């Protein structure tokens, strides 16, 4: 099999590429990336060492696709992933990458009759609707109730039938617009596709920032003994997310690559679920235990733009269709990332500290 992974030097793309090459040494894998995100350059040596063909290119450029060979499958893992991107009034890079770039990827896949796996986001679900959900305030976290004002949500989390009316951030909008176009290519061009609405993905080699990659950011701040803040929702750190280890996402993508007919045309939520979720307060406790370090954490009561109180993925549909479910919990994730920081401290300190 020949596979193109866009965003191939990013955290998700490089991790998937290296895992695939490890599992299937005979596969030829191309990793396409424009290296815009700081830290992605560290992955070039890792890709080369794994036997993956790195291609310096940009999905915004149709000409860069013309130079690529034919492949059997495209994994679209490229994106400007920040929820705050474009909110400063200049959304051009965001839209050109996350929407028009996806169209270039689709046309390339169509040209070669390649199957198409799209990594979308839970951010397609509207912010205001999520913020009006019924919840309970437990001792260390916010918890979703079963009794809800809208369909597609329960104590298990948010499902694919959750209403899509409303604003969701420019990032979420570009990903949802891409989803709609992918469905058209599937229906009218016969392109085999699957869309994965991923929750928070994390793991080693993620270059965490405050607006994207919060799990690595939180652990790294403990590791390097710096300071953090609980921002919004009273400053209590009870806001809650589920976390998906990149190794768990890889198992799903691997299955889809080899069984795409069984999920062709589907949209699937894929996240850590309730069993792999934590509030910032709970994450802090685990970070203290794993790293052995306690750091100062400020309290900021005011909410940030585009933030949400809690998001948990309901994986019911994807589990029923594929048998997949996450295996790695929060403590395993924190331990794994801390070990990675230990092993690569010299290279990572200038980026993450």
Q: What is the CATH number of domain 1-125+168-198?
A: 3.40.50.720
| Cα 8 to Cα 33: distance, rounded to the nearest angstrom | 5
Question: How many Cβ atoms from other residues are within 10 Å of residue 145's Cβ?
Answer: 12
Q: What is the pLDDT of residue 317?
A: 98
User: Residue-wise pLDDT tens for the chain (353 aa)?
Assistant: 999 999 999 999 999 999 999 999 999 999 999 999 888 999 999 999 999 999 999 999 999 999 999 999 999 999 987 787 888 888 999 999 999 999 999 999 999 999 999 999 999 999 999 999 999 999 999 999 999 999 999 999 999 999 999 999 999 999 999 999 999 999 999 999 999 999 999 999 998 876 678 999 999 999 999 999 999 999 999 999 999 999 999 999 999 999 999 999 999 999 999 999 999 999 999 999 999 999 999 999 999 888 999 999 999 999 999 999 999 999 999 999 999 999 999 999 998 99
Structure tokens at 40: 């992605």
Q: What is the pLDDT of residue 85?
A: 83
| Cα 3 to Cα 24: distance, rounded to the nearest angstrom | 11
| Cα 227 to Cα 236: distance, rounded to the nearest angstrom | 16
Q: pTM higher than 0.95 for the full model?
A: yes
Q: What is the dihedral of CA 211, 183, 157, 333, to 10 degrees?
A: -50
Q: What is the pLDDT of residue 37?
A: 84
Strands (E), the chain: 2-6, 28-33, 53-56, 73-76, 115-121, 135-137, 142-144, 153-154, 157-158, 193-198, 200-202, 228-231, 240-245, 266-270, 277-279, 297-300, 310-311
Unique residue bearing structure tokens 């209590």? 236
Helix axes 101-111, 170-188, angle to 10 degrees: 20
**Burial class of 38 by CB neighbour count within 10 A (0 to 12, 13 to 18, 19+):** exposed
Q: What is the pLDDT of residue 211?
A: 66
Question: How many Cβ atoms from other residues are within 10 Å of residue 250's Cβ?
Answer: 20
């Amino acid at each position: 099999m020949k596979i193109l992974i866009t965003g191939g030097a990013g955290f998700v793309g490089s991790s998937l590429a290296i895992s695939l090459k490890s599992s299937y040494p005979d596969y030829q894998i191309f990793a396409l990336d424009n290296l815009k995100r700081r830290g992605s350059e560290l992955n070039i040596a890792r890709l080369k060492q794994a036997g993956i063909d790195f291609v310096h290119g940009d999905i915004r450029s149709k000409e860069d696709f013309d130079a690529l060979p034919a492949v059997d499958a495209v994994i679209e893992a490229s994106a400007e992933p920040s929820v705050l991107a474009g909110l400063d009034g200049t959304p051009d890079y965001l839209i050109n990458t996350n929407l028009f770039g996806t169209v270039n990827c689709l046309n390339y896949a169509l040209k070669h009759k390649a199957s198409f796996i799209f990594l979308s986001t839970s951010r397609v679900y509207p912010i205001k609707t999520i913020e009006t959900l019924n919840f309970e305030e437990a001792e260390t976290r916010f918890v979703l109730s079963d009794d809800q004002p809208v369909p597609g949500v329960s104590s298990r989390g948010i499902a694919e039938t959750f209403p899509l009316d409303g604003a969701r951030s420019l990032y979420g909008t570009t990903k949802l617009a891409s989803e709609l176009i992918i469905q058209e290519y599937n229906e009218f061009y016969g392109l085999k596709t699957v869309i994965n609405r991923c929750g928070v993905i994390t793991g080693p080699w993620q270059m965490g920032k405050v607006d994207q990659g919060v799990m690595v950011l939180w652990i790294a701040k403990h590791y390097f003994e710096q300071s953090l803040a609980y921002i919004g929702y009273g400053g209590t750190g009870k806001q809650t997310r589920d976390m998906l280890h990149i190794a768990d996402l890889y198992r799903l993508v691997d299955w889809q690559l080899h069984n795409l007919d069984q999920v062709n045309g589907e949209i699937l939520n894929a996240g850590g679920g309730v069993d792999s979720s934590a509030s910032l307060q709970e994450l802090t406790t685990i970070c203290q235990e794993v790293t052995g370090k306690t750091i100062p954490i400020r309290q900021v009561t005011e909410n940030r733009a585009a933030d949400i109180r809690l998001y948990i993925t309901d994986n019911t549909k994807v589990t029923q269709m594929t048998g997949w479910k996450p295996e790695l919990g929060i403590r395993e994730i924190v331990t794994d990332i801390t070990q990675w920081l230990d092993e690569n401290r010299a290279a990572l300190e200038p980026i993450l500290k």
